[in-house]
Structure 1
Amino acid sequence: MPSTSATVRTPISTDILRWPVVGRALRWRHARTTLQLVLLVGAAVIVLHGLLGPPLASNNLATVLTWVHYRGLLVLALLAVGNAFCTGCPFVLVRDAGRRLRRPTLRWPRRLRTKWIAIALFVFVLFSYELFDLWALPRATAYLVLVYFGSALVIDLAFSGATFCKYLCPIGQFNFAASTVSPLELKVREESVCRSCRTADCIRGRREPAVASNITQNVKRKAPETAPLDVSRSMFDVRRKVVRRPVQRGCELGLFLPLKVGNMDCTFCLDCVQACPHDNVALVPRLPAAELSDPRRRSGIGRFAQRHDIAALALLFAFGSMVNAFAMTAPSYTLERWLSRTMDVGSEAPVLAAVFLVGLCAVPLVLVGGAAILTRKLAGAERGSISGILVNYAYALVPFGFGMWLAHYCFHLLTSVLTVVPITQSAAIDILGWPALGEPHWRWAGLRPGAVFPIQLGFIFLGTIGSLAVAYQVSQRDYPDRPGPTTVPWAVVAAGLASLAVWILAQPMEMRGLGFLG
């Protein structure tokens, strides 16, 4: 039985939206558009320099900004605040502009309203990144950005709501999974206000006050000859039609705020804040990762225990962090050469596919499946199904996965953080023909890899502790009489993954963006 503590909403003591400066800025109606414009300019720079700039990856803003700075800042924002980059997503800005010309008329098919397609695209992006060395190809990176813009535009011009964000976007799924460990959450301020609300503007959207307009229509009837001629009543009928145009959309991802639990599927767009006529939405601090063990039904999602697709996303998020980091180390190249000889193939694609198949399918199945079997035995009387236990505990690996993504992406960011300066200076020379921003300082790079390693260890440690805490909370919820023993298998899995993560991070890692191993 679920613990009662997991179903009680805590009163709100801090609302960041009420802070004098920060709150006013966040509540500004054009705050999101401003952030989107900034990122749109950044995307334009990436595309233009990728197509027209130098082909060397370490000298091109397309590869450096996309694969070094963007990814590093993305995970740091998720750690410090929440899903900030979905808030400022420039794809949505372009989509909104397109919807002014053509409104979508279709709804995404019910059978496809899952994460499975997005999971497949997530794997495809990870695989393509390694297979085609996208980090080393500025032009290919620029085309990838254009494909992303085009895909979001085509899908959301055909289907209503935030279809691309919720069901297809690989970056969005990464952010959704990571945001479950973020420290901030949007929630209702007072539940009593929501109970008395009759409009549900937070999800339906807000419309302008009713405006009555006179509509004159012919009435197909003949006035009696003996009756006095009254044109207004006998030949025409005057009716009043109510016209209410939308002025603010509600949540396009289908999250009804009074029933919203956690950050899954929330893009932090703040549309609910703008739409609520009662000013009853708060941005509050919360315990990171606590939502991963929350058994409540979630608006627009359902219960985590019944969503095998979201559990699969959690496992991909965790084990994908390991595969993605390992692929950049020296031992991975040794392994690929050995596999190439063993499989007797000359192409990299089947070799890399084998690595991904083992890392994302075989290893998770053995580790997580074995832990689920042991948990069932340790629970006594073999309570619950193996698949149900696996799904419930899969979410416990998300904090570890986030720690690994942080350790990996921050390595590239911190060791290359200043490279954007000389590359921008060089780009100015290419465009203007003279050093408008000064001569490039090519010696500017960042921290030494050895200085970053302790920071990486800290991220792995915090992520592992978070996974242990979530696993124990799940055990307390599902097996209150035996929480300790049922947590042991998952503690072993988390400790094993942490040890492997430390080994991976200790290997010479390719300094993508600089062009050598560090």
Structure 2
Amino acid sequence: MRGVLLQEPLPTKQGQGVDLTRLPWVGRFLRWRHARTALQIPLLLTAALVIFDGLTGPQLSPKNLAGVLPWVHWRGLVVLALLIAGNVFCMACPFMLTRRLARRFFPHGRTWPRWLRNKWLAAGLLLAFFWAYEAWDLWASPWLTAWLAVGYFVASFVIDAVFAGAPFCKYVCPIGQFNFVNAIHSPFEVAVRDPDVCAACRTKDCIKGRDGIPGCELGLFQQAKAGNLDCTFCLDCVHACPYSNVGVLARVPAAELWMDTRRAGIGRLSLRPDLAWLVLALTAAAFVNAFGMVSPVYALQEWLASTVGLGADGPAWGIIFVTGMLVVPVLVVGGAAGMTRWLTGTREPLLRVATRYTYALAPMGFGMWLAHYLFHFLSGALTIVPVTQSFVLDVTGKPLLGSPAWQLAALLPRPWLLPLEIVLLTAGFTLSLVTVYFIALDQWSDRRAAARAALPWVALLLILMTAGLWLLQQPMDMRGTMM
């Protein structure tokens, strides 16, 4: 069974509430075997247009599909989909179409190396991407954006041609890791309806597959699965289950972080420092990425350049990045873990304490991603109209869609944006507070001990909330628009 350990079923309340696969129109589509392909094809065509325009079109980012669609629309829609539904964009990922092509030519892949079966490589690639985004101004270069997309298609093809399963999704793809972590805040998850049906099942088709339908290639055995971590929403388990016992069920966001239970494909969260580091990196990146777009960062870069004697762009940004993404996160999380040990008197290793409580930072990070990305999306959503008009004009030589209306940009009035950003950031902060308390309560049954254990992390969250509020009120670059 692909080496997946069949753990005992986790406590569940599934079988009640909303199930998207049972809704009249949405459910019928999700139960359709080719639903994923139907979502992937439009995104594949969109990616092709982005690559074509990025390589051949105008290199002014706000006038190029490669400068607008990935950095304004796609990012905004990704976090919006995660907030409202779930990991929709992994489900519709066009890079997986290349996997099908690879499997046709290379049907017998090798096993992914055991020493790479963790998130360290993916976290490193994610950090490299965030550094390159600012250091090379990817948002301002349609040409580089196009080649980034090409590289993604090539990497997914090569890795899934050489190796069996879905190692690109689970262990490599930086976009996938962003979606996996932030999907824990989604209101829906792929889960079993009735645990008793799974207990009586002897074929385990959800993990093994049947009738040409693959089982879960990420090793998430439904009977022992909890939450959205590592789930691509591919729905293969939904189609493979002969009892129609798997659906897309409503749930409490972030609840999978509250208990340190062993779960399929992941194990115990407290024993996954690689996964905790991924959460920490994404949380830090949410603030550092936003800081890279506000006015004070330029003054800091100039000060670093004059003080250290390095260039004001790449080298100075490198110092800011390493400090904000590596040095500060490690120090503050290590300090908070040390304070938790001191306040509770536990002898648990510092790394394990840090690992367990770091997951509580994920909602805070997601709140910042939501506030930041939706600011750009809502400020520039309508730019797709003139950019598309310009693209058609460049390709055909005729204004078939009319002359580009470059005055179009914002979807919402600008005065509405800051209050909305503050609401989203506050929601993430609140969910992080709830999460850190329940993590502590899971470890310490005594409420006073749990409160002491959570106290350093509450202080850290207050610092992050303050930093976030300050960032949101700074003038921010209007990237992807003509403004």
Match of 1:235 in 2: none
- SS at the partner of 1:282? strand
Return the match for 2:373 from 399, 403, 409.
Answer: 409
Give the greater-gyration-radius structure (CA): 1
Task: Quote the residue 1:243 is aligned against.
Answer: none
Looking at structure 2, the residues matched to 349 and 281 of structure 1 have their Cα atoms a distance apart, in angstroms, of 49
Say if 2:430 is the partner of 1:465: yes
Q: What is the rounded CA distance, in whole Å, between the counterparts of 1:323 and 1:347 in structure 2?
A: 17
Kindly indicate whether the alpha-carbon contact (under 8 Å) linking 2:102 and 2:158 is maintained by their aligned counterparts in 1: no
Q: Which residue identity is paired with 1:195?
A: A
Residues 203 and 272, structure 1, Cα contact 8 Å, conserved in 2: yes
Asked if the contact 2:10–2:226 (Cα under 8 Å) also holds between the matched residues in 1, the reply is no
TM-score by length of 2: 0.95
Q: Does 1:484 align with 2:451?
A: yes
Matched, 1:426 2:390: yes
Q: Would the aligned equivalents of 1:411 and 1:449 in 2 still touch at CA under 8 Å?
A: no
After superposition, where does 1:353-392 map in structure 2 within 5 Å? 353-379=318-344, 381-392=345-356
Structure with higher helix content: 2
- 1:10 is the counterpart of 2:13: yes
1:509 equivalent in alignment to 2:473: no
Question: Structure 2 CA distance, aligned partners of 1:67 and 1:20?
Answer: 34
> AA paired with 1:506?
Q
SS of aligned partner of 2:248: strand
Letter in 2 for 1:43: A
For 1:163-174, what aligned pairs fall within 5 Å after superposition? Answer: 163-174=167-178
Change (3 A) 1:515 1:504: farther
Partner Cα distance (1:407, 1:304) in 2: 27
Superposition pairs for residues 227-242 of structure 1, below 5 Å?
none
Counterpart of 1:276?
Answer: 241
> Partners in 2 of 1:90 and 1:81 — Cα distance?
19
Unaligned runs of 5+ in 2: 1-8
Using the alignment, how far apart are the partners of 1:334 and 1:189 within structure 2? 55
The match for 1:162 among 124, 141, 166 is 166
Aligned position for 1:328: 293
Aligned to 2:88: 84
- Answer whether contact 1:104 1:156 (CA < 8 A) is retained: no
Report the Cα offset of residue 471 of structure 1. 0.3
State the partner residue of 1:500.
467
**Is the CA contact (8 Å cut-off) linking 1:7 and 1:294 kept in structure 2?**
no
**Matched residue SS, 2:369:** helix
SS in 2 for 1:185: strand
Q: Look up the match of 1:63.
A: 67
Q: Hey, what's the Cα distance between the residues in 2 that align with 1:442 and 1:353?
A: 35
Q: What is the aligned-residue RMSD (CA, Å)?
A: 1.3
* 1-structure distance, mates of 2:470, 2:65: 31
What's 1:253 paired with? 218
Structure 2 vs 1, CA of residues 255 and 501 (structure 1 numbering), >3 Å: closer, same or farther?
A: same
- Which structure 1 residue ranges, 5 or more long, are not aligned? 1-5, 208-246
After superposition, where does 1:186-265 map in structure 2 within 5 Å?
Answer: 186-207=190-211, 247-265=212-230
TM-score w.r.t. length of structure 1: 0.89
Matched, 1:438 2:402: yes
Which has a greater percent of strand? 1
Whole-angstrom distance in 1 between the partners of 2:327 and 2:103: 43
Match of residue 227 from structure 1:
none
Q: Does the CA contact (< 8 Å) of 1:50 and 1:138 recur in 2? A: yes
CA offsets per residue over residues 70-92 of structure 1, 9 Å max, x none? 00000000000010000000000
* 1:342-364 CA-partner distances (Å, limit 9, x unpaired): 11123633322211111012211
Q: How many residues matched?
A: 471
Structure 1 position 385, deviation (Å): 2.2
2: distance between equivalents of 1:497 and 1:490? 10
- The amino acid that maps onto 2:358 is A
